[in-house]
Amino acid sequence: MNSSLIKFFIVFGMALSVSGCIFSPQEKTEEACLQVGTNFGYPPYVFSNEQGEPVGFDVDLMNEIGKVLGKKIIWVDMGFDAVVLSLQQEKIDLIIGGFAITEEKLRVIDMIQYTNPQPLALYFWEQIPQGVTNIEDLESLENPVVTIQTGSVGFEKYLRQYPFIIIKSLDQYVEVILDLKTGKSLAGCCDLNVASYMKTKTPELQLLVLQGSEKLHRGDGIGVNKKNKKIYDDVQAAIITHQNNGTLNSLKEKWFANKGAH
């Protein structure tokens, strides 16, 4: 295993060890902070560095929002499949983590857009199979297993349009990459920003952009409980502030390897 892949495993594997032990809901005070639910295994949006601290585009953005609002950001790490329910139950104030704005989510929570829609990508270990130029070409391959991160409802919905694809899910992207390396999966699927970032850390990954898949959603959004109009208005105003002062674009340039996708 090469050194870049080992480092990738170490950094993103830290997400498994920080869940529920660095930041907890009990740290919240009435007005001084915002509890933000996320998953620490979604680079470059939210992940853990080698010291176990949350880093990434969304982490930097929320810290900047906190400065505008005069709030401390308290991070609550949880599975992707738990964040929306926790927000509905008012256990947390916001959710962020590269969450796509979809009709399904908007039925149960409000969302504030902060990135533009982007396509999905398939990523393969070392080479894209000969003759594969789009997702339809996977039908000609034996056992086309495509793996997504657990809780990636939008990715799963997209892949289910192609009944020949065998969909598999794993908790962390580091596990998906290992699955590709060992031949247990043919490809992984995620949004292009995530795939492009992973390729900078693991050059063996080869990307196939799924053109047209950006129509699945309206970009990424910060989720807010529908009852909490004040937080929605405050966070939206902070986003507008950072759009106008250039902070949002600076953070995109810092974190997104795929400069044209955000």
pLDDT at 198: 95
Q: Which of 6-20, 120-134, 208-222 has the highest mean pLDDT?
A: 120-134
Q: What does the mean pLDDT of the chain come to?
A: 88
The model carries a pTM of: 0.82
pLDDT digits (tens, 9 = 90+) for 48-71: 999 999 999 999 999 999 999 999
Which residues have a Cβ under 8 Å from the Cβ of 125 and sit 6 or more positions away? Answer: 177, 180, 181, 183, 204, 205, 206
**In angstroms, rounded to a whole number, what is the distance separating the alpha carbons of residues 40 and 126?**
26
For residue 218, with 0-12 CB atoms within 10 Å meaning exposed, 13-18 middle and 19 or more buried, which class applies?
A: middle
Query: The tokens 């396509």 sit on which residue?
Result: 119
- Report how far residue 174's alpha carbon sits from residue 73's, in angstroms, rounded to the nearest whole number: 26
Helix (H) or strand (E) holding 188: strand 187-191
Rounding to the nearest 10 degrees, give the CA dihedral for residues 14, 20, 23, 29.
Answer: 170
259 pLDDT above the threshold of 80:
no
Per-residue pLDDT, 11: 47
Residues of the chain above pLDDT 90, percent: 77
Q: Give the fold, CATH level 3, of 120-216.
A: D-Maltodextrin-Binding Protein; domain 2 (3.40.190)
Look at residue 6 and tell me whether its pLDDT is greater than 50: no
pLDDT tens figures, 70-110: 999 999 999 888 999 999 999 999 999 999 998 889 999 99
pLDDT digits (tens, 9 = 90+) for 177-235: 999 999 999 999 999 999 999 999 999 999 999 999 988 888 999 999 999 999 999 99
73 DSSP assignment: E
Cα–Cα distance, 102 to 8 (Å, whole number): 30
* pLDDT tens per residue, range 109-122: 999 999 999 899 99
Binned at pLDDT 50, 70 and 90, residue 1 comes out as: low
Q: Give tens-digit pLDDT for 19-40.
A: 333 344 444 445 689 999 999 9
**Start and end residues for every CATH 3.40.190.10 domain found in the chain:** 3-116+218-255, 120-216
Q: What is the pLDDT of residue 12?
A: 47
Find out if CATH 3.40.190.10 is the number for domain 3-116+218-255.
Answer: yes
Strands 72-77 and 54-55: unpaired
